[in-house]
Amino acid sequence: MFASLSLVAPMSASLASSIIIIGAGVGGLSAAIRLARQGYSVQVLEARAQAGGLASGFTAGGFTFDAGPYILLDKPGLEWAFVQLGIAAEALPLTPIEHVYHVLHEDGATTAFDRSLATTAAGFEAQFPGSGAL
């Protein structure tokens, strides 16, 4: 838990230009890039072994899981973020995920969720007749 800190003396110029960011998720890393480009000395602290926050993943029991809202990071949002950070979108190799995720049921069956809502609805209709139009 973080506590508030009262400084007795004013910060020196070097302290005023040093920033610590808690969390190496997309927001923390984006803030760090922008602040560093403005001349601040930036240190990013992350509790987990890998950076990325909700944009990362993990493996458990032989399965790989995405840890966040990757479906929200579609092209328009990414383009805006790249412009804000001064990064050429072509600099990062992005591969669209067609099959966003699959739900594995106890009986071994799977339910697929696709980028395309129409494809997802058709899959639901095939697996659960009458449900695809929902």
Mean pLDDT of 88-96: 74
**What is the tens place of the pLDDT at every residue in 11-20?**
455 556 889 9
Mean pLDDT of 80-98: 77
Q: Show me where the domains of the chain are located.
A: 18-94, 96-133
**In whole angstroms, how far apart are CA 75 and each of 70, 81, 90, 110?**
11, 10, 12, 28
pLDDT of residue 9: 40
DSSP 52: B
- Confidence at 44, pLDDT banded by 50, 70, 90: very high
As a CATH number, domain 18-94 is 3.50.50.60
Mean pLDDT of 45-73: 73
